[in-house]
Structure 1
Amino acid sequence: MAFLVSGTLRVAAQVADAQDSLGRKGKYSVQGPRVALILSSPEVSASAVAVLEGVFQTLGLESCWRREASVRDFLEELTGFREQLVAHGGPLGCILVALVAPSGQLRQPQKLVRELSGCEALWGCPKVFFLLSSAPGADPEPGAFLTSLCELCGRCPHWSLLQLLTEVFFRTAEESSGVIYCPVLRSSLRGALCLGNVEPWQPEPEPSPSAQYDMSGDRAALLLAVIRDRPGAQHDVDALRGLCQALGFETTLRTDPTAQAFQEELVQFQERLDTRRSPVNCALVALMAHGGPQGQLLGADGQEVQPEALVQELSRCRALRGCPKIFLLQACRGRHRDAGMGPTALPWFWRWLWAAPTTPSHADVLQIYADVQGYVAYRDEKGSDFIQMLVEVLRAAPRRDLLELLTEVNRQVCELDVLGPDCDEHRKACLEIRSSLRHRLCLQLPSQC
């Protein structure tokens, strides 16, 4: 149930502009051919492949290829698939790729994802990756995830894919007896994506109250920010603290923590929540610091701390069992800089998705259980693109689903052309959203407006 956003600028006076942007938010068109590939290792059972084929058939995809190969040959198979897409010559609506192998064999899935992310034929096209594996020592089987996905694709073709996956995660966790198991999605999508044959601009259905997290109780936020030698970081702190207070979060702020203090503050935060008398419905943790090449955070003392360890610390909190936990990371995740790509060869794209003339090469990707990192997060004396845009969008529409709002944040961040301190050329930035949420999460109730 942890929720993690990582990424790389303006607040109250621009709420009206943000609301207008949300009103015309990007939605992907899938009017072009929708193509799927199932790539499985020889150990994968026929039943798992059959269920996957059933999912893609339910979605009405124009074509679905199936390849069987050893995991070490997956990259070569994807290269061949990419060449087929380039040879197709026309615009594509959507690409779905399922990679199925025994647990532990897909050790570097991001290399496989990257093989298609840079494909010229797929610029601006949503790319969906399902990375499926078995439990240790067991044959890969379809399980509750694929079964629920197949059923919902047929019954709710009008749902956005993120909305549909949230419901699948809920069903998967509910059907796991004794153990809370939930898949994880990672998204850099910049608009709503509906895979069914439904007009993408029609109004989305209103969810029932039972489909949302209960947010009627207390809320708590912990902001840990390294300010020293990070120009503009104080603006991020002020903007985020103001947002948390406006949304009713009891907020604790610590500046310039050492690497050890990052861990200690999370432990103390968890202990305070566990000893509260009143229930807590939601927790938010913001981690802002310099970052290392492997995604680690650097404390004010220059020492490293792994953000995954901080996420796990809060996941053990008894008071937050079954409650949403939001993690915001504003830090570099490597030294790569993205110059962007121009989808000028796709004139149909502009009619459906509001986007800038150039887009990041690693945008428009949705992965269910995968890995993406290695890029610079941009910040200047006014603050970071990510935090400032996040505050602006959430202030404009706090009653809307958080996943939907974060997708809109990513769209707006992707549209920015950033002049980095390292050169005179424009760069692009893109967010990564990780979610194992099992319900819609709206940070403000109607009665609070």
Structure 2
Amino acid sequence: MAFLVSGTLRVAAQIADAQDSLGRKGKYSVQGPRVALTLSSPEVSVSTVALLESVFQTLGFESRQRREASVQDFLEELTGFREQLDAHRAPMGCVLVALVAPNGQLRQPQKLVRELSGCEALRGCPKVFLLLSSAPGASPKPGTFLTGLSELCGRCPHWSLLQLLTEVFGRTAGESSGATYCPVLQSSLRGALCLGDVEPWGPEPEPSPSAQYDLSGDRAALFLAVIRDRPGAQRDVEALGGLCQTLGFETTLRTDPTAQAFQEELAQFQERLDTRRSPVSCALVALMAHGGPQGQLLGADGQEVQPEALVQELSRCRALRGCPKIFLLQACRGGHRDAGMGPTALPWFWRWLRAPPATPSHADVLQIYADAQGSSSGGFTPGSCDQADILRVYAAAEGCVAYRDEKGSDFIQTLVEVLRATPEGDLLELLTEVNRQVCELDVRGPDCSERRKACLEIRSSLRRRLCLQA
């Protein structure tokens, strides 16, 4: 009897482990089946689709499906793909979906992403979306992004996908009409993701000096924080201020700004940087306030300001051209409270096995927005700013609540702990670790007694690795 119970527990524990693909702390285990799907509109060139197939094969995707459909039918195709995966009734290793369409036709890509994110077979597994725009009448040959991705996937299979994409972004970025075009990635990954057909946990690659941002110049930080009626906000300001001082940032703090003051302070910050005699190598802006239902920031006067307008304000700074610009946004982006996705077995059974906690519904997704021909059309880029060298970190997924209590916010406090522990690390990888820790938390808001989950959203157009160690 004891042998039977022991065997049952062992098998059940293996099933529980398979439900969460973060098999090792901070690193995805992608040993299960890998499935890739390409959805392309009829206008997309054959050579572009063929190169995508080659990239998928290089990355070790055994099953590679390809379908041609109008953009209006993409959602229906993804629904069928999801049903196919759920019918498989076994945990997956990873899924990669490429959506290729002419510029401007894929207007609401988040609907397509959400359709697959709810797939039970993919719970806890990395889901990668490659959203490629293609200009009508453009060259049939794939551009710099796809060719660079193909070459690096074959040459550096042991790199994490975020490292690999940053290198590709550096090769792809180009000047057009006075602005810098660059692909953008949007990540809610909770761990390092390596898709090469090699042992992924070998030594990390040593970056060359040219592959990292040069931060030998001045560093400047601006904190715009609404403290009034936001318990714990002062704790966040103090913790982040101490971290910035350790990392060598000259910090300016403005508390309880109105909506207009948010814009004015950003404009003055930009002017001060442009008129400095010594070169500036990095800027950090922390925006902490209540958030509106559509992701707006609310000033101390209750009026709204769009965070994208603040990002654009700093992107025009001449002193920061080619330098990293970091935005930390601690604010709600809507009123949704995510209960997460949990195991489907009997609750008492999973509690007995100490199964992994519920996974936030928005976690484990990586979206890459790029142009198939490498031009500056920016057809799929989220937001209104497509310039390079910008890193935005949101404390909550789109439409969701950002949690905070008297001790501070989960996002800022965890960020400070992680960066203090490993200041020499690549910032994108460190932020992924911050997200992992935040996703593991069970939170209860002041007006909600049930457990809820939180998940960060990281948007990056960085072209080099970014290390903040002073």
Aligned residue in 2 for 1:204: 204
The alignment status of 1:384 with 2:409, answered yes or no, reads yes
CA 1:391/1:51 → structure 2, altered by over 3 Å: closer, same or farther?
A: same
Letter in structure 2 aligned against 1:418: V
Aligned residue in 2 for 1:276: 276
Structure 2 Cα separation of the partners of residues 423 and 211 of structure 1: 46
Structure 1 Cα separation of the partners of residues 256 and 243 of structure 2: 21
Structure 2 Cα separation of the partners of residues 414 and 281 of structure 1: 32
How far is 1:173 from its partner?
1.3
CA 1:356/1:89 → structure 2, altered by over 3 Å: closer, same or farther?
A: closer
Aligned residue in 1 for 2:149: 149
Tell me if structure 2 keeps the 8 A contact 1:44–1:139: no
Q: Residue 180 of structure 2 aligns to a residue in which SS?
A: coil
The alignment status of 1:400 with 2:422, answered yes or no, reads no
Q: Residue 239 of structure 2 aligns to a residue in which SS?
A: helix
Q: Residue 180 of structure 1 aligns to a residue in which SS?
A: strand
Letter in structure 1 aligned against 2:250: E
- The residue correspondences of 1:157-172 to structure 2 (distance < 5 A) are 157-172=157-172
The CA deviation string for residues 163-185 of structure 1, in whole angstroms up to 9 with x for no partner, is 00000000001597986210000
Q: Residue 418 of structure 1 aligns to a residue in which SS?
A: coil
* Mean CA deviation greater in 328-337 or 194-203: 194-203
- The residue correspondences of 1:254-293 to structure 2 (distance < 5 A) are 254-293=254-293
Q: Residue 240 of structure 1 aligns to a residue in which SS?
A: helix
Aligned residue in 2 for 1:415: 440
* Mean CA deviation greater in 188-197 or 42-51: 42-51
Tell me if structure 2 keeps the 8 A contact 1:44–1:141: no
The alignment status of 1:430 with 2:455, answered yes or no, reads yes
Q: Residue 26 of structure 1 aligns to a residue in which SS?
A: coil
Could you say which structure has the greater relative contact order, defined with CA pairs below 8 angstroms and 6 or more residues apart?
Answer: 1
Tell me if structure 2 keeps the 8 A contact 1:217–1:281: yes
Letter in structure 1 aligned against 2:412: I
Structure 2 Cα separation of the partners of residues 139 and 375 of structure 1: 41
Number of aligned residue pairs: give it.
413
Aligned residue in 1 for 2:73: 73
The alignment status of 1:125 with 2:150, answered yes or no, reads no
* Mean CA deviation greater in 393-402 or 371-380: 371-380
Structure 2 Cα separation of the partners of residues 175 and 59 of structure 1: 30
Tell me if structure 2 keeps the 8 A contact 1:124–1:343: no
The alignment status of 1:42 with 2:67, answered yes or no, reads no
The CA deviation string for residues 143-164 of structure 1, in whole angstroms up to 9 with x for no partner, is 1111100000000000000000
CA 1:399/1:117 → structure 2, altered by over 3 Å: closer, same or farther?
A: same
How far is 1:61 from its partner?
1.0
Letter in structure 2 aligned against 1:233: A
Please report the RMSD computed on the Cα atoms of aligned residues, expressed in angstroms: 1.8
The alignment status of 1:368 with 2:406, answered yes or no, reads no
Extract unaligned runs of 5+ from structure 2: 1-23, 346-354, 370-380, 383-396
The alignment status of 1:442 with 2:467, answered yes or no, reads yes
Aligned residue in 2 for 1:59: 59
Structure 1 Cα separation of the partners of residues 177 and 315 of structure 2: 19
Aligned residue in 1 for 2:349: none
Tell me if structure 2 keeps the 8 A contact 1:283–1:324: yes
Structure 1 Cα separation of the partners of residues 27 and 157 of structure 2: 15
Larger radius of gyration: 2
Q: Residue 150 of structure 1 aligns to a residue in which SS?
A: helix
* Mean CA deviation greater in 200-209 or 31-40: 200-209
Extract unaligned runs of 5+ from structure 1: 1-23, 346-354
Letter in structure 2 aligned against 1:128: V
Structure 2 Cα separation of the partners of residues 374 and 38 of structure 1: 28
Structure 2 Cα separation of the partners of residues 366 and 151 of structure 1: 20
How far is 1:139 from its partner?
7.0
Tell me if structure 2 keeps the 8 A contact 1:222–1:284: yes
Tell me if structure 2 keeps the 8 A contact 1:41–1:69: yes
How far is 1:187 from its partner?
0.2
* Mean CA deviation greater in 279-288 or 84-93: 84-93
Structure 1 Cα separation of the partners of residues 336 and 362 of structure 2: 12
Structure 2 Cα separation of the partners of residues 331 and 139 of structure 1: 43
Aligned residue in 2 for 1:245: 245
Structure 2 Cα separation of the partners of residues 84 and 273 of structure 1: 54
How far is 1:422 from its partner?
2.3
* Mean CA deviation greater in 171-180 or 359-368: 171-180
Letter in structure 1 aligned against 2:458: I
Tell me if structure 1 keeps the 8 A contact 2:43–2:136: no
Aligned residue in 1 for 2:93: 93
Q: Residue 309 of structure 1 aligns to a residue in which SS?
A: helix
Tell me if structure 2 keeps the 8 A contact 1:101–1:140: no
Structure 1 Cα separation of the partners of residues 307 and 139 of structure 2: 32
The CA deviation string for residues 345-371 of structure 1, in whole angstroms up to 9 with x for no partner, is 7xxxxxxxxx95211011000001365
Structure 2 Cα separation of the partners of residues 312 and 392 of structure 1: 29
Aligned residue in 2 for 1:218: 218
* Mean CA deviation greater in 82-91 or 386-395: 82-91
How far is 1:210 from its partner?
1.7
Structure 1 Cα separation of the partners of residues 142 and 294 of structure 2: 32
Aligned residue in 1 for 2:191: 191
Tell me if structure 2 keeps the 8 A contact 1:27–1:200: no
Tell me if structure 2 keeps the 8 A contact 1:28–1:200: no
Aligned residue in 2 for 1:319: 319
The alignment status of 1:339 with 2:339, answered yes or no, reads yes
Tell me if structure 2 keeps the 8 A contact 1:34–1:63: yes
* Mean CA deviation greater in 204-213 or 110-119: 204-213
Structure 1 Cα separation of the partners of residues 139 and 65 of structure 2: 22
